[in-house]
Structure 1
Protein backbone atom coordinates (compact mmCIF):
# COMPACT_ATOMS: atom_id res chain seq x y z
CA UNK A 1 0.00 0.00 0.00
CA UNK A 2 1.26 3.44 -0.86
CA UNK A 3 0.72 6.47 1.35
CA UNK A 4 0.95 10.16 0.65
CA UNK A 5 3.74 11.71 2.74
CA UNK A 6 3.09 13.73 5.88
CA UNK A 7 -0.71 13.31 5.94
CA UNK A 8 -0.54 12.99 9.73
CA UNK A 9 0.50 16.65 9.96
CA UNK A 10 -3.05 17.61 8.96
CA UNK A 11 -4.70 15.21 11.42
CA UNK A 12 -5.65 17.05 14.64
CA UNK A 13 -5.66 13.72 16.50
CA UNK A 14 -1.91 13.31 15.92
CA UNK A 15 0.16 15.48 18.29
CA UNK A 16 2.88 17.45 16.54
CA UNK A 17 6.37 16.01 16.84
CA UNK A 18 9.81 16.43 15.30
CA UNK A 19 9.72 14.23 12.20
CA UNK A 20 13.09 15.32 10.82
CA UNK A 21 14.55 11.85 11.48
CA UNK A 22 13.00 8.45 10.80
CA UNK A 23 10.82 7.24 13.67
CA UNK A 24 10.97 3.54 14.59
CA UNK A 25 7.84 2.48 16.47
CA UNK A 26 7.98 -0.77 18.42
CA UNK A 27 6.04 -2.68 21.08
CA UNK A 28 7.63 -1.59 24.35
CA UNK A 29 6.33 -4.67 26.19
CA UNK A 30 7.78 -7.17 23.70
CA UNK A 31 11.22 -8.47 24.66
CA UNK A 32 12.13 -9.21 21.01
CA UNK A 33 11.07 -5.71 19.91
CA UNK A 34 12.86 -3.92 22.75
CA UNK A 35 15.98 -6.02 22.22
CA UNK A 36 15.88 -5.18 18.52
CA UNK A 37 15.76 -1.47 19.32
CA UNK A 38 18.71 -1.79 21.70
CA UNK A 39 20.61 -3.74 19.03
CA UNK A 40 19.91 -1.00 16.46
CA UNK A 41 21.04 1.78 18.80
CA UNK A 42 24.28 -0.03 19.59
CA UNK A 43 25.08 -0.20 15.88
CA UNK A 44 23.89 3.30 14.98
CA UNK A 45 26.13 5.62 17.00
CA UNK A 46 25.26 8.61 14.81
CA UNK A 47 21.60 8.42 15.82
CA UNK A 48 20.04 8.19 12.36
CA UNK A 49 16.70 7.16 13.86
CA UNK A 50 14.47 8.08 16.79
CA UNK A 51 12.52 5.42 18.68
CA UNK A 52 9.12 5.29 20.36
CA UNK A 53 7.01 2.58 21.94
CA UNK A 54 3.54 2.18 20.46
CA UNK A 55 2.21 2.62 23.99
CA UNK A 56 3.13 6.35 23.87
CA UNK A 57 0.66 9.05 22.68
CA UNK A 58 2.26 10.04 19.35
CA UNK A 59 2.78 6.47 18.07
CA UNK A 60 -0.73 5.47 19.18
CA UNK A 61 -2.18 8.41 17.25
CA UNK A 62 -0.09 7.54 14.19
CA UNK A 63 -1.33 3.95 14.28
CA UNK A 64 -4.93 5.13 14.42
CA UNK A 65 -4.25 7.64 11.63
CA UNK A 66 -3.06 4.81 9.37
CA UNK A 67 -5.99 2.55 10.27
CA UNK A 68 -4.06 0.29 12.64
CA UNK A 69 -5.08 -0.82 16.12
CA UNK A 70 -2.36 0.21 18.61
CA UNK A 71 -3.80 -2.15 21.23
CA UNK A 72 -3.51 -5.18 18.94
CA UNK A 73 0.07 -4.43 17.95
CA UNK A 74 0.62 -6.52 14.85
CA UNK A 75 3.12 -4.45 12.92
CA UNK A 76 6.33 -2.64 13.58
CA UNK A 77 6.29 0.78 11.88
CA UNK A 78 9.06 2.97 10.53
CA UNK A 79 7.94 6.48 9.64
CA UNK A 80 10.45 7.97 7.21
CA UNK A 81 10.10 10.96 4.90
CA UNK A 82 6.54 11.28 6.16
CA UNK A 83 5.48 7.81 5.00
CA UNK A 84 4.81 4.67 7.07
CA UNK A 85 6.59 1.43 6.32
CA UNK A 86 4.79 -1.60 7.76
CA UNK A 87 5.46 -5.30 8.33
CA UNK A 88 8.31 -6.67 6.18
CA UNK A 89 8.98 -3.26 4.62
CA UNK A 90 9.43 -1.76 8.10
CA UNK A 91 12.14 -4.29 8.92
CA UNK A 92 13.89 -3.59 5.62
CA UNK A 93 13.60 0.17 6.14
CA UNK A 94 14.96 -0.09 9.71
CA UNK A 95 17.93 -2.13 8.49
CA UNK A 96 18.47 0.39 5.70
CA UNK A 97 18.84 3.17 8.28
CA UNK A 98 21.86 1.47 9.81
CA UNK A 99 25.46 1.97 8.70
CA UNK A 100 27.20 -0.68 6.58
CA UNK A 101 27.25 -3.62 6.69
CA UNK A 102 23.81 -3.72 8.33
CA UNK A 103 22.13 -1.56 5.70
CA UNK A 104 22.99 -4.26 3.17
CA UNK A 105 20.44 -6.47 4.92
CA UNK A 106 17.78 -3.86 4.17
CA UNK A 107 18.77 -3.85 0.51
CA UNK A 108 18.67 -7.65 0.36
CA UNK A 109 15.32 -7.71 2.17
CA UNK A 110 13.78 -5.35 -0.37
CA UNK A 111 14.56 -7.95 -3.04
CA UNK A 112 12.22 -10.43 -1.32
CA UNK A 113 8.65 -10.18 -2.67
CA UNK A 114 6.30 -8.58 -0.13
CA UNK A 115 4.02 -11.62 -0.08
CA UNK A 116 6.92 -13.79 1.15
CA UNK A 117 8.47 -11.18 3.45
CA UNK A 118 5.10 -10.36 5.02
CA UNK A 119 4.38 -14.08 5.57
CA UNK A 120 7.70 -14.47 7.42
CA UNK A 121 7.06 -11.23 9.33
CA UNK A 122 3.55 -12.34 10.33
CA UNK A 123 4.81 -15.75 11.52
CA UNK A 124 7.42 -14.14 13.78
CA UNK A 125 4.95 -11.47 14.95
CA UNK A 126 2.37 -14.09 15.99
CA UNK A 127 4.95 -16.09 17.94
CA UNK A 128 7.26 -13.38 19.35
CA UNK A 129 5.73 -13.23 22.83
CA UNK A 130 5.68 -17.02 23.19
CA UNK A 131 9.27 -17.32 22.00
CA UNK A 132 10.84 -14.31 23.72
CA UNK A 133 8.37 -13.17 26.38
CA UNK A 134 6.87 -9.85 27.38
CA UNK A 135 7.56 -7.23 30.02
CA UNK A 136 4.92 -5.80 32.32
CA UNK A 137 6.33 -2.33 31.73
CA UNK A 138 7.88 -0.78 28.65
CA UNK A 139 11.61 -0.88 28.07
CA UNK A 140 13.25 2.00 29.99
CA UNK A 141 16.32 3.50 28.33
CA UNK A 142 19.32 4.53 30.39
CA UNK A 143 20.56 8.12 30.53
CA UNK A 144 23.07 7.62 27.70
CA UNK A 145 20.37 6.85 25.12
CA UNK A 146 17.36 8.84 26.35
CA UNK A 147 17.78 11.44 23.61
CA UNK A 148 17.10 8.72 21.04
CA UNK A 149 13.51 8.33 22.28
CA UNK A 150 10.74 10.58 20.99
CA UNK A 151 8.98 10.94 24.35
CA UNK A 152 12.22 11.83 26.16
CA UNK A 153 13.57 14.45 23.75
Structure 2
Protein backbone atom coordinates (compact mmCIF):
# COMPACT_ATOMS: atom_id res chain seq x y z
CA UNK A 1 0.00 0.00 0.00
CA UNK A 2 1.24 3.47 -0.85
CA UNK A 3 2.01 5.05 2.54
CA UNK A 4 1.56 8.63 1.35
CA UNK A 5 -1.96 8.17 -0.05
CA UNK A 6 -4.92 9.12 2.10
CA UNK A 7 -7.43 6.31 2.51
CA UNK A 8 -11.18 6.83 2.49
CA UNK A 9 -13.25 4.08 4.08
CA UNK A 10 -16.88 4.27 3.00
CA UNK A 11 -20.11 2.30 3.30
CA UNK A 12 -19.93 0.20 0.14
CA UNK A 13 -23.68 -0.50 -0.05
CA UNK A 14 -24.82 3.12 0.48
CA UNK A 15 -25.83 4.98 -2.69
CA UNK A 16 -24.95 8.35 -1.12
CA UNK A 17 -21.50 7.08 -0.13
CA UNK A 18 -20.87 5.59 -3.57
CA UNK A 19 -21.91 8.88 -5.14
CA UNK A 20 -19.51 10.71 -2.84
CA UNK A 21 -16.68 8.37 -3.90
CA UNK A 22 -17.40 9.09 -7.57
CA UNK A 23 -17.51 12.84 -6.78
CA UNK A 24 -14.12 12.65 -5.03
CA UNK A 25 -12.51 10.58 -7.79
CA UNK A 26 -13.55 13.16 -10.43
CA UNK A 27 -11.97 15.98 -8.41
CA UNK A 28 -8.86 14.17 -7.13
CA UNK A 29 -6.58 15.69 -9.74
CA UNK A 30 -3.37 14.86 -7.86
CA UNK A 31 -4.33 11.22 -7.18
CA UNK A 32 -4.20 11.67 -3.40
CA UNK A 33 -6.91 9.22 -2.33
CA UNK A 34 -7.40 5.49 -2.21
CA UNK A 35 -10.69 3.85 -1.29
CA UNK A 36 -11.93 0.77 0.54
CA UNK A 37 -15.43 -0.24 1.55
CA UNK A 38 -15.97 -0.64 5.28
CA UNK A 39 -17.33 -4.11 4.50
CA UNK A 40 -14.24 -5.25 2.56
CA UNK A 41 -11.40 -7.30 4.02
CA UNK A 42 -9.07 -4.29 3.69
CA UNK A 43 -11.62 -1.99 5.30
CA UNK A 44 -12.16 -4.34 8.25
CA UNK A 45 -8.38 -4.68 8.69
CA UNK A 46 -7.83 -0.91 8.70
CA UNK A 47 -10.69 -0.46 11.20
CA UNK A 48 -9.30 -3.15 13.50
CA UNK A 49 -5.78 -1.65 13.40
CA UNK A 50 -7.27 1.62 14.69
CA UNK A 51 -9.77 0.04 17.11
CA UNK A 52 -12.68 1.73 15.33
CA UNK A 53 -16.05 0.20 16.14
CA UNK A 54 -18.47 0.31 13.20
CA UNK A 55 -21.37 0.35 15.67
CA UNK A 56 -20.30 3.94 16.43
CA UNK A 57 -18.93 4.96 13.03
CA UNK A 58 -20.51 3.35 10.00
CA UNK A 59 -20.22 5.86 7.21
CA UNK A 60 -16.98 7.67 6.26
CA UNK A 61 -13.49 7.58 7.71
CA UNK A 62 -10.39 9.30 6.37
CA UNK A 63 -7.04 7.74 7.24
CA UNK A 64 -3.79 9.63 6.78
CA UNK A 65 -1.22 6.83 7.21
CA UNK A 66 1.27 7.47 10.00
CA UNK A 67 -0.54 10.73 10.92
CA UNK A 68 -4.16 10.39 12.08
CA UNK A 69 -7.65 9.31 11.17
CA UNK A 70 -10.80 11.40 10.99
CA UNK A 71 -14.46 10.45 11.29
CA UNK A 72 -17.87 11.88 10.48
CA UNK A 73 -17.98 15.58 9.53
CA UNK A 74 -14.27 16.08 10.16
CA UNK A 75 -13.44 13.30 7.68
CA UNK A 76 -15.75 14.81 5.04
CA UNK A 77 -14.33 18.30 5.49
CA UNK A 78 -10.69 17.11 5.55
CA UNK A 79 -11.40 15.34 2.25
CA UNK A 80 -12.99 18.51 0.88
CA UNK A 81 -9.90 20.54 1.80
CA UNK A 82 -8.02 18.47 -0.78
CA UNK A 83 -10.50 18.92 -3.62
CA UNK A 84 -10.55 21.85 -6.03
CA UNK A 85 -13.65 23.93 -5.51
CA UNK A 86 -14.20 22.78 -1.92
CA UNK A 87 -10.98 23.88 -0.22
CA UNK A 88 -12.18 27.23 1.08
CA UNK A 89 -15.66 26.09 2.14
CA UNK A 90 -14.29 23.00 3.90
CA UNK A 91 -11.65 25.05 5.71
CA UNK A 92 -14.28 27.54 6.92
CA UNK A 93 -16.70 24.81 8.07
CA UNK A 94 -13.92 23.13 10.06
CA UNK A 95 -13.98 26.21 12.31
CA UNK A 96 -17.48 25.27 13.50
CA UNK A 97 -17.57 23.12 16.64
CA UNK A 98 -17.31 19.43 15.80
CA UNK A 99 -20.28 18.60 18.03
CA UNK A 100 -22.49 20.95 15.97
CA UNK A 101 -21.17 19.66 12.63
CA UNK A 102 -21.73 16.07 13.72
CA UNK A 103 -25.37 16.70 14.62
CA UNK A 104 -26.03 17.58 10.98
CA UNK A 105 -23.77 14.76 9.77
CA UNK A 106 -25.51 12.19 11.99
CA UNK A 107 -28.96 13.18 10.70
CA UNK A 108 -27.84 12.58 7.11
CA UNK A 109 -25.96 9.38 8.02
CA UNK A 110 -28.93 7.97 9.93
CA UNK A 111 -31.30 8.59 7.00
CA UNK A 112 -28.96 7.89 4.08
CA UNK A 113 -30.51 4.52 3.14
CA UNK A 114 -34.05 5.91 3.36
CA UNK A 115 -33.23 9.03 1.33
CA UNK A 116 -30.71 7.64 -1.20
CA UNK A 117 -31.21 3.90 -1.17
CA UNK A 118 -28.97 0.93 -0.61
CA UNK A 119 -27.24 -1.56 -2.91
CA UNK A 120 -27.34 -5.32 -2.39
CA UNK A 121 -23.55 -5.47 -2.54
CA UNK A 122 -20.51 -3.19 -2.71
CA UNK A 123 -19.79 -1.45 -5.99
CA UNK A 124 -17.30 -3.03 -8.36
CA UNK A 125 -14.91 -0.44 -9.79
CA UNK A 126 -14.31 -0.29 -13.50
CA UNK A 127 -10.91 -1.52 -14.70
CA UNK A 128 -9.85 2.14 -15.12
CA UNK A 129 -10.69 2.93 -11.47
CA UNK A 130 -9.56 -0.35 -9.95
CA UNK A 131 -6.10 1.02 -9.01
CA UNK A 132 -7.78 3.56 -6.70
CA UNK A 133 -9.37 0.82 -4.57
CA UNK A 134 -7.55 -1.24 -1.95
So what's the TM-score if we normalise by structure 2?
Answer: 0.89
How many residues align structurally?
133
Residue of structure 2 equivalent to 1:122: 106
Alignment of 1:22 with 2:6, yes or no, is yes
Q: Whose RCO is larger (CA < 8 A, sep 6+)?
A: 2
The equivalences for 1:3-152 within 5 A come to 17-70=1-54, 74-82=58-66, 83-98=68-83, 100-150=84-134
**Cα root mean square deviation, aligned:** 1.7
Listed as ranges, the gaps of 5+ residues in structure 2 are: none
Instruction: Show structure 1 runs of 5+ residues with no match.
Output: 1-16
TM-score when normalising by structure 1: 0.79
- Deviation of 1:71 after TM superposition, in Å, equals 6.6
Tell me, in whole angstroms, the C-alpha distance in 1 between the residues paired with 2:107 and 2:59: 12
